[in-house]
Amino acid sequence: MSDISVVEEATSIAKAKPSKRQSPVGYDTRPNAPWGLQRISTASTVSGSAKAMDYTYSYANNGLGQGADIYIVDTGIYTEHNAFTGRAHMAWSHNSDMTDSDGHGTHVAGTAGGDVLGVASNANIFGIKALDSGGGGWSSNVIAGIDYIIQSHDARKANTSNNTYNFVGSVISMSLASSGPVQAINLAIQAAIHAGIHTVVAAGNDDADACKSSPASSGGLKGGAITVGSIGMNAHVSSFSNYGDCVDVYAPGEDVISAWIGGRDMVNSLSGTSMATPHVTGIVACAMQGNATLAGDPGLMKEWVRMMGLGGNGAVVVANNGVRGGEGGGEGMLGFEKGAGNGTGFRILEGRRRG
């Protein structure tokens, strides 16, 4: 048939596998944040304990992604978690199970759009369950999930005339990886981008060329997606992170605290490019809010994300939301001491490092 682009054998897909190694003028600030939120909102050095949720998140627009739709293609989302403040909904599942029995998808969603824990704390969050309770799945399910997102995006966009959803745009977050390039997945992502949907994907955790797997190979110099590698608190590339021409930016991916399953106040600390990806997803969601030009143009958004990044000119580009200074102005260190306390009311699970 003329509308079939390619026939390809179904390939096994999994969440990006674990690492084998382990207020000032011009912007607002929010306390009690994980370290990653401070890293993406300052040009200053970040230091301290990764488990200390007393870092400062800075942002120029207090809308924080309001009206933006974030689609988390993963293991599902525990929508009742306190971090989601009623904004998270399960939208689609490959097997009709709308729960997250693994936790990976909930963790990713918490970083992308959770309250206290996340970047775009006012965005709408939709769970697309393409992976099973063990974090694995098939390329056909990922593609079906992307197809659903395109249809949902088109429908919600069509209703902007009566402001039914306060809709500003859509972004897909994909923290998963295949064992090799999957043309069908890359074509599905290309279709989503053509439909005006921003797509942010994980680089993978094999300490290898990101172009050798999907969806990572749909970004960088090879495609329109935004592929994200991982850095630690010192802004050095993580030992496990994939790299190369298919990577656009790097974001916090080591010891990232975010939402977890098992209770409304549970959080967990995980590492991987899976954790780095939603930081950039949240940046994109925030950038869409109040900027119709960026919201409607994935290509322009990709350029903006790279332009806002710290570094460049051959160096590692570290994702940044456009806020470069610290408390008191300028480029200095933020003006507070970092301890090991956790003043958020969330309970941290120990010993879980996956991604």
Nearest Cα residue to 254 out of 31, 35, 40, 15: 35
Dmax over Cα atoms in the chain, in whole Å? 64
Active site residue 74: yes
Nearest Cα residue to 261 out of 83, 102, 87: 102
Catalytically annotated residue among 94, 104, 107, 279:
104
Catalytically annotated residue among 152, 248, 274, 279:
274
φ/ψ of 59, rounded to 5, equals: -155, 150
Catalytically annotated residue among 41, 58, 69, 74:
74
Active site residue 104: yes
Active site residue 153: no
Give the CA distances from residue 29 to residues 38, 116, 327, in Å, rounded to whole numbers and listed in that order. Answer: 10, 11, 9
List the catalytic residues. 74, 104, 274
